Amino acid sequence: MTNGQGSNDGRDPSDRSAEVVILGAGPAGLVLGNLLHRAGIDCVVLERADRARLHARARAGFLAEHTVRVLDRHGLADGLHRRGRPHATCEFRTGDGRFRLDYAGLGRGERHTVYPQQHLVADLLTSYLAAGGRLHFATEAHRVLDTDGERPTVEASGPDGRPVRWRARYVAGCDGRHGAARRSLPPGAVVHHHDHGLSWLGLLAEAPPSLDAVGYAVHEHGFAGHMARTPEITRYYLQCDRGTPPEAWSEEHIWRELDLRMRAAEHGPLHRGSIVQRTVVDLECDVVEPLRHGALLLAGDAASLLTPSAAKGANLAVLEAELLAAALVDEIAHGDGRALDGYSGRCLEYIWRAQEFSHWMVRLLHAAPTPHGVPSSFDEGLRRARLAALRTSRAQQDWFAENYVGL
């Protein structure tokens, strides 16, 4: 096992090669590493964080049924079956009252499993290392060179800051929108970007959930969201002005705003606790086209960034990793490159559908920003109409459920 500062493989330090170099040890990189390693494909994962930081990164927590099926299929779901909790209800709170959707009884009849992403990452990491997979912590990739050649090179720096070079047959960029893979895209790559002009203050509170549902609150002060993570930890979101520092609001101010926007006076008090993590999330999204550039392939947040409004990011990452693993095995082990040639187009179909639903959710939950800061009465009317349709129309509810859980 690694000590969190280097390799766990025991090889000579001068050995810097693999059939596939995977950048990033998030869900996409670790699912890909597990599947390639089990298929006998020589691979290595390079992760910029040390092991302690990797275990502490708290992000998404809602896994779709397709994601659970993928993990089950490859023997990677033991932890989530032991500790994950089924979830199938969301509640909307507005000035017109509140309503709930039990979405497991709508659409395709699918539900979520609540399982914090850091727990999933820990499971995937344990599985990969226990099987003898190679992984280097505290190793930051800087750029990928010669992606059109037979052996592309990853330039990186190790835990001691010294430069290292990795040669590979393929490089899988699973290192996010600011990682080396994105920085190494050739001029022909297109990055479609959209900024919603909205920001959320993301919070983790040491407090039990106050609802047995995901809570979405629409209020004149801005959006507020409630998402259970564990019986002791709850994720909250509060819409804030763009540029607000994470520490700008006191804990008392945060809880007052949550009480106000979640309408605690009408629907019951919120369980309070210490705010243990806070970050500001700007609601932006992007898509890279194509996802393959010679020997460089993108997955996860390196392929596309979604807003957290619909909890699609980690689920897309797992789906893409399974597709990419199968395509790489076909090409490397069997000389069949058809799946790899089709990887980008196939993933982009899922990505754009997820982007469309995420965009719809943003418009459902927020007043559209205007240059003068006063919401448009026309946009407000549209938002009320969307909420009314979701409250009253079974067809709209089925559509919502299918897209909320599905990919």
Given the residues 226, 293, 312, 366, the one annotated as active site: 312
Say whether 226 is catalytic: no
pLDDT at 2 over 80: no
Q: Which residues contact 186 (CB under 8 A, 6 or more apart)?
A: 147, 293, 294
> CATH number for the domain including 40?
3.50.50.60
Q: Give the pLDDT band of residue 150 (cuts 50, 70, 90).
A: confident
| Percent of the chain predicted with pLDDT > 70 | 95
**CA gap 356, 361 in Å, rounded:** 9
Say whether both 311 and 380 belong to one domain: no
Say whether both 314 and 401 belong to one domain: no
The overall average pLDDT reported for the chain is 93
In a domain, 11, yes or no: no
| Least confident among 6-15, 24-33, 115-124, 216-225 | 6-15
b/e 27-44 (16+ beta carbons within 10 angstroms → b):
bbbbbbbbbbbbeebebb
**CA gap 141, 175 in Å, rounded:** 9
In a domain, 81, yes or no: no
In a domain, 6, yes or no: no
In the block, residue with structure tokens 């309070």: 272
In a domain, 101, yes or no: yes
Say whether both 42 and 126 belong to one domain: yes
Per-residue model confidence as pLDDT tens digits over 323-370: 999 999 999 999 999 999 999 999 999 999 999 999 999 999 998 777
Given the residues 37, 87, 136, 293, the one annotated as active site: 87
| Residue 134: per-residue pLDDT | 97
Say whether both 174 and 322 belong to one domain: yes
pLDDT at 9 over 50: no
pLDDT at 375 over 80: no
| Percent of the chain predicted with pLDDT > 90 | 86
> What's the domain count of the chain?
2
Q: Average pLDDT in the 57-78 region?
A: 91
| Residue 407: per-residue pLDDT | 77
107 backbone φψ class: left, alpha, beta (φ>0; ψ -120 to 50): left
Say whether 87 is catalytic: yes
In a domain, 383, yes or no: yes
pLDDT at 1 over 50: no
Say whether both 317 and 237 belong to one domain: no
- 177: tokens are 């929108």
Q: Which residues contact 286 (CB under 8 A, 6 or more apart)?
A: 177, 191, 192, 193, 194, 304, 305
Say whether both 32 and 55 belong to one domain: yes
Say whether both 55 and 34 belong to one domain: yes
Q: Average pLDDT in the 107-133 region?
A: 95
Given the residues 136, 236, 308, 359, the one annotated as active site: 308
| Residue 12: per-residue pLDDT | 42
pLDDT at 54 over 90: no
Q: Average pLDDT in the 242-269 region?
A: 96
Say whether both 353 and 385 belong to one domain: no
Q: Give the pLDDT band of residue 3 (cuts 50, 70, 90).
A: very low
CB 101 within 8 A of CB 89: yes
In a domain, 79, yes or no: no
The residues with which 193 forms a beta bridge, in sequence order, are: 286
| Residue 272: per-residue pLDDT | 97
**CA gap 321, 128 in Å, rounded:** 14
CB 361 within 8 A of CB 309: yes
| Residue 8: per-residue pLDDT | 45
pLDDT at 316 over 50: yes
Say whether both 351 and 399 belong to one domain: no
**CA gap 207, 296 in Å, rounded:** 43
pLDDT at 144 over 90: yes
CB 202 within 8 A of CB 278: yes
Say whether both 139 and 267 belong to one domain: no
CB-count exposure of residue 346 (10 Å: 0-12, 13-18, 19+): middle
Q: List, as one string, the DSSP characters of 282-337.
A: EEEEEEEE-SEETTEEE-GGGTEE--GGG--HHHHHHHHHHHHHHHHHHHHHH---
pTM for the complete prediction?
0.93
Task: Please tell me what DSSP assigns to residue 278.
Answer: E
Q: Three-state SS for 208?
A: coil
- 199: tokens are 């920001």
pLDDT higher at 281 or 3: 281
Question: Cα angle at 116 between 111 and 122, to 5 degrees?
Answer: 125
Say whether 115 is catalytic: no
Per-residue model confidence as pLDDT tens digits over 172-214: 999 999 999 999 999 989 999 999 999 999 999 999 999 999 9
Say whether both 215 and 307 belong to one domain: no
CB 104 within 8 A of CB 78: no
In a domain, 68, yes or no: no
Q: Which helix (H) or strand (E) holds 17?
A: strand 17-23
- Can you give the residue range of the structural domain that contains 144? 17-61+116-189+290-357
- 333: tokens are 């082990």
Instruction: Please name the amino acid found at residue 157.
Output: S
> CATH number for the domain including 94?
3.30.9.10
**CA gap 297, 75 in Å, rounded:** 25
Given the residues 115, 216, 236, 237, the one annotated as active site: 216
In a domain, 36, yes or no: yes
Question: Cα angle at 328 between 175 and 305, to 5 degrees?
Answer: 30
Cα-to-chain-centroid distance, residue 190:
21
Q: Give the pLDDT band of residue 7 (cuts 50, 70, 90).
A: very low
- Note the residue count of the chain: 407
**CA gap 305, 314 in Å, rounded:** 10
**CA gap 295, 147 in Å, rounded:** 5
| Residue 149: per-residue pLDDT | 85
Q: Give the pLDDT band of residue 238 (cuts 50, 70, 90).
A: very high
**CA gap 127, 68 in Å, rounded:** 16
| Residue 85: per-residue pLDDT | 93
Say whether both 131 and 267 belong to one domain: no
